[in-house]
Amino acid sequence: MNEIKEINIYRDTPIRYLGYANEIGEAFRPIIPHSIVWFSYTVASGYVLADTINSGFNTYSNSVTTKSKNVLLSMTDTLLWQSFASVIIPGYTINRVCAAVQFIQKKSNNTHLKSRWIPTLIGLATIPIIIHPIDNLVEEIMNITYRKWIRYYPK
Measured distance between the N- and C-terminal CA atoms of the chain, rounded to whole angstroms: 20
Range of the domain at 28: 9-150
Q: How high is the pLDDT of residue 3?
A: 62
The number of folded domains in the chain is 1
Residue 101 lies in a domain: yes
Within-domain flag for 107: yes
pLDDT tens profile 69-93: 889 999 999 999 999 999 999 999 9
Question: Which carries the bigger pLDDT value, residue 61 or residue 89?
Answer: 89
Distance CA 60, CA 56 (A): 6
Residue 43 and residue 125: Cα distance in Å, rounded? Answer: 20
Report d(CA 132, CA 6) in Å as an integer: 20
Name the amino acid, one letter, at 126: T
Taking the C-alpha atoms of residue 88 and residue 86, their distance in angstroms, rounded to an integer, is 7
Average pLDDT of the residues in 47-75: 87
Instruction: Find out whether 95 and 26 touch, Cβ atoms under 8 Å.
Output: yes
User: Whole-model pTM above 0.85?
Assistant: yes
pLDDT bin (cut points 50, 70, 90) of residue 62 is confident
CB 25 within 8 A of CB 41: yes
